[in-house]
């Protein structure tokens, strides 16, 4: 079981680092492409890229917590 | 005797020239104006959005309905914990893949300017390519919207025929293709008209210069000083 928790920690550490790298690449793109967004260009007419980026990072952190609870209380 | 004509002072020199270099996108030229840009239709990421919803539904279904004790009786507690870890790994991978695809949706754009049509095909990590078609190179443009889903959700394909190569450039899953079809056509027409006007102005200037030369020759032939 300690080995499982080690792998669990490595998995989520990699997950968070990957998320941060993806967000960094995304923001270098945003700095170079400064379009004036409108309801015709946004996802479903209203979803901004910043919202998706924030949701991505929050989801990664929430998944760390939920997966820990999953393994602890159901495993 | 020549008298210098008195010119009225210029009241206005015209609007200040705007420098559009890299204003909206990287590579935008000084006098290049952004007319429109678009991304692919949301239908391209619908499977990944659906997968993301399914991910959370499965998670909560597992918490509520999964027969844990039955599975443990077959594979043991440690086997169950290992299987759970692999499930967490698989879900982590799906989570990242889903969001990366949504980001890639925002990165892929088609830009229409007064000089060219630029298609940016970029992903977060793996892919970055750009294709620019100059407006004078566009020979013909076609719009294609076939099938139930394209008609209901209003997306289609633009086929741009180039005068230089035989192979057409296809841009798929364009939302509201009729608008972009008309936009590119209008850009092409305005470019042609602008070029004709510029050509006419150049011809008029050269004819005006020729008249000055003729006047100078005729003045010299009768012994007058050249007109300045």
pLDDT given at position A19: 96
Q: Which H or E run contains B177?
A: helix B177-221
Q: Which H or E run contains A65?
A: helix A49-74
pLDDT for A11-35, tens place per residue?
999 999 999 999 999 999 888 888 8
Angle value at C-alpha B105, between B100 and B107, nearest 5 degrees? 95
Q: Is the dihedral of CA A38, A39, A41, A44 positive or negative?
A: positive
State whether A70 and B84 contact (CB < 8 Å).
yes
State whether A33 and B109 contact (CB < 8 Å).
yes
Contact A65, B64 (CB under 8 A): no
User: 3-class DSSP state for residue B150?
Assistant: helix
Q: Which two three-digit tokens encode residue B49?
A: 């959005």
d(CA B60, CA A66): 11
Of B66, B92, B175, the CB nearest to A11: B92
3-state percent breakdown (helix, strand, coil) of chain B, nearest 5:
50, 20, 30
Residue B156 zone, left/alpha/beta (φ > 0; ψ -120 to 50; rest):
beta
User: 3-class DSSP state for residue B141?
Assistant: strand
ipTM for this model: 0.92
- Give the distance from residue B167's alpha carbon to the nearest chain A alpha carbon, in angstroms: 29
State whether A43 and B109 contact (CB < 8 Å).
no
d(CA B15, CA A68): 63
Whether the model clears a pTM of 0.90, i.e. scores above it, the answer is: no
Contact B140, B186 (CB under 8 A): no
pLDDT for B179-209, tens place per residue?
999 999 999 999 889 888 888 888 888 776 6
State whether A33 and B24 contact (CB < 8 Å).
yes
d(CA B104, CA A75): 36
Contact A41, B38 (CB under 8 A): yes
pLDDT for B34-91, tens place per residue?
999 999 999 999 988 888 888 888 877 877 777 778 878 888 888 888 888 888 898 8
Q: Which residue of A has its CA nearest to B64?
A: A74
Q: What is the mean pLDDT of chain B?
A: 83
d(CA A55, CA A65): 15
Residues of B in contact with A1 (CB under 8 A): 78, 81
Contact A22, B103 (CB under 8 A): yes
Q: Which of B96, B29, B211, B205 is nearest to A55 (CA)?
A: B96
Q: Which of B144, B204, B135 is nearest to B170 (CA)?
A: B144
Contact B170, B157 (CB under 8 A): yes
């Amino acid at each position: 079981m300690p080995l499982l928790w080690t792998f669990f920690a490595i998995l989520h550490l990699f997950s968070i680092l990957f998320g941060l790298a993806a967000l960094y690449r995304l923001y270098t793109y945003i700095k170079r492409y400064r379009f004036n967004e409108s309801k015709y260009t946004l996802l479903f007419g209203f979803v901004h890229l910043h919202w998706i980026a924030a949701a991505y990072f929050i989801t990664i952190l929430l998944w760390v917590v939920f997966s820990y609870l999953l393994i602890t209380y159901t495993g | 005797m020549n008298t210098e004509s008195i010119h009225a002072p210029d009241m206005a020199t015209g609007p200040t020239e705007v420098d559009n270099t890299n204003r909206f996108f990287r590579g935008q030229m000084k006098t290049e104006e952004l007319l429109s840009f678009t991304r692919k239709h949301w239908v391209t990421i619908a499977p990944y959005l659906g997968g993301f919803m399914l991910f959370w539904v499965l998670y909560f279904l597992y918490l509520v309905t999964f027969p844990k004790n039955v599975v443990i009786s077959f594979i043991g507690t440690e086997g169950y914990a290992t299987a759970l870890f692999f499930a967490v790994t698989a879900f982590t991978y799906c989570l990242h893949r889903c969001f990366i695809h949504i980001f890639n949706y925002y990165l892929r754009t088609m830009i229409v300017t007064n000089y060219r049509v630029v298609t940016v095909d970029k992903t977060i990590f793996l892919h970055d390519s750009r294709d620019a078609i100059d407006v004078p190179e566009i020979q013909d443009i076609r719009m294609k919207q076939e099938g139930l889903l394209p008609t209901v959700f209003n997306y289609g394909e633009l086929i741009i025929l180039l005068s230089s190569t035989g192979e057409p450039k296809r841009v798929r899953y364009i939302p509201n293709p009729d608008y972009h079809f008309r936009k590119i056509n209008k850009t092409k027409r305005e470019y042609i008209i602008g070029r004709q006007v510029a050509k006419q102005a150049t011809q008029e200037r050269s004819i005006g210069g020729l008249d000055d030369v003729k006047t100078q020759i005729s003045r010299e032939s009768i012994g007058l000083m050249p007109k300045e």
